[in-house]
Structure 1
């Protein structure tokens, strides 16, 4: 079974603060030790110099899961759901891409 990649880009509204930014990144980075099935995880603030392409997306997440079932279990996991609640009132838009990793 192939591993799965989970990519997420977050766009926040005017209620979003720099303090929330660091808290969100720290929370995302902690997922690796709290949610089973995660092989690798990175998260951070978008620092692209391609300003024509940023479209307001300021935070990125990349998670590699051991398989598709681990990805499916991630969404409803209580730690992930706690993070989703942190986005209430500050999230403007989100882009999610999931795909199997071909070798």
Structure 2
């Protein structure tokens, strides 16, 4: 059993499985929902340790929350931060298996 720091699980919340993320996976990119305070070096270290792969680069984006009407009540989606992780050649992550 390899020694994994539990803080890595706090950085990466979940993989993003959308049509756009699936198309990006053909170009060796994987999308994750990450903690709002996570930095690019923290995301890179967490992905490398948890999935045992080599990361080439990390791009992040923050999706702003929206206000929506739901059954006549006003509700809101919260902001979320996503990371697009580009892997080195020859490395793969299968997000369907989970952590």
User: Fold conserved (TM > 0.5)?
Assistant: no
Question: TM-score scaled to structure 2, two decimals?
Answer: 0.36
User: TM (normalized to structure 1)?
Assistant: 0.35
Find the structure with the greater CA-based Rg: 2
Q: Which has the higher contact order (CA 8 A, sep 6+)?
A: 1
More helix by share: 1
